[in-house]
Amino acid sequence: MKRKLVCAIIGMTMAASLLAGCGGSSDTAATDETAAEEEGAEEEAPSGDVITVGYAQVGHESDWRMANTQNYYDVFSAENGYDLQLIDCDNDNAAQIEAVRSFIQQELDYIVIAPIETAGWDTVLQEAEDAGIPVIIADREIDADNYDAWVGTNTVNEGITAGNWLGEYLDGADANILVIEGSVGASATLGRTEGFDSVLAEHPEWTKIDQQSGDFTQSGGQEVMESFIKSYEGQFNVVVCQNDNEAYGAMDAMDAAGITYGVDGDVIIISFDATHDGLQYTLDGKINCDVECNPIQAETVAEVIQLMAAGEEYPESTLVDDEAFVAPGIESAYATTMTQEILDGRAY
């Protein structure tokens, strides 16, 4: 409550100073004001106008992440009235905490965090609160609750959608499943695993043979798939990749081993993110099902910041919606069948 009050006061003060700047009280003052305004017009907008934002970004591990980063640069631009500091924390927790501390030391107006891991946030969030800087958690989730707003996706639901689609597709047939998980400790990994496993539990004819982290990267997906092939060749018919880049690596490894996959192959591939290339592979029938996780979140975060700056009520939690896509020839109650038009119309 305290922080929102502080935020409201900042908002009002700023609004008041802007109003005072615009309309002088007497003619003379008005004339001086107008002259001063004209003369000053080409200078920097008064500091109150520019909103400084720090974004502690996970890293650059995947196409999804790059699309998310570009989206922040597009939205939090100078012409839109922002000064954005985006720090790529390269999947390093300690570096991410330090990035947030640097935002606090610079007394930025707002801090946005896409947390690499769910754990370890209490202390630095307390420091931001003590400094009166609102914090928005974006994309993923954390164990702590001392932040002001959250904008992200429901990865548990994404896992459930993947499982429900597989159940519909297999229609009672056995499944021997390998899972290439995302980065250890990331809420996207934990959520997708929790959701998929909740459906797995409903299917006694399914077996999860093994799971290993591919760290949301293509090289990680390839390495894990190569080791899975060594251990389990001929024993599996489903590979769940917790993001598209891991799926690309897994396909490379299966190609090298002469293992077929996709709608005409021996192995079903389920992926997550539904990035452009992931949906191209889905359209080509190489990926059977790609569950979307929408990286275009900066507009929503900016709306929350504008409301905070204006001292108005703002949503403490905003879910960015996703859907799922399946290869041509597959009809599903849980996913949209891919077409070229869908691919051409995608924002990322």
Taking CB under 6 A as the rule, does residue 272 contact ligand GZL?
yes
CB 229 within 8 A of CB 210: no
Taking CB under 6 A as the rule, does residue 62 contact ligand GZL?
yes
Backbone angles phi, psi at 183, to 5 degrees: -60, 135
Neighbours of 333 (CB within 10 A): 7
Taking CB under 6 A as the rule, does residue 325 contact ligand GZL?
no
Residue 243 partner contact from ligand GZL, Zn ion, none using kind-dependent CB cut-offs of 5 to 8 Å:
ligand GZL
Taking CB under 5 A as the rule, does residue 60 contact Zn ion?
no
**CB of residue 226 to Zn ion, shortest distance in Å:** 30
Applying the rule CB under 6 A, the residues between 205 and 264 that interact with ligand GZL are 216, 243
Residue 270 one-letter amino acid: I
DSSP state of 78: T
**CB of residue 53 to ligand GZL, shortest distance in Å:** 19
Neighbours of 35 (CB within 10 A): 10
Q: Is 283 helix (H, G, I), strand (E, B) or coil?
A: helix
Q: Which stretch binds ligand GZL (CB under 6 A): 56-64, 160-168, 218-226, 280-288?
A: 56-64
Applying the rule CB under 6 A, the residues between 276 and 295 that interact with ligand GZL are 293
Q: Are strands 289-292 and 238-241 parallel, antiparallel or unpaired?
A: unpaired
Smallest CA-to-CA distance from 241 within 205, 199, 211, 208 is with 211
- Residues in contact with ligand GZL, counted by CB under 6 A, come to a total of 13
| Residue from 4, 60, 203, 208 binding Zn ion (CB under 5 A) | 203
Q: What is the DSSP string of 22-41?
A: H--SSHHHHHHHHHHHHHHH
Give the footprint of Zn ion on this chain (CB under 5 A).
203
By the criterion CB under 6 A, which residues form the site for ligand GZL?
Answer: 61-62, 64-65, 139-140, 153, 188, 216, 243, 272-273, 293
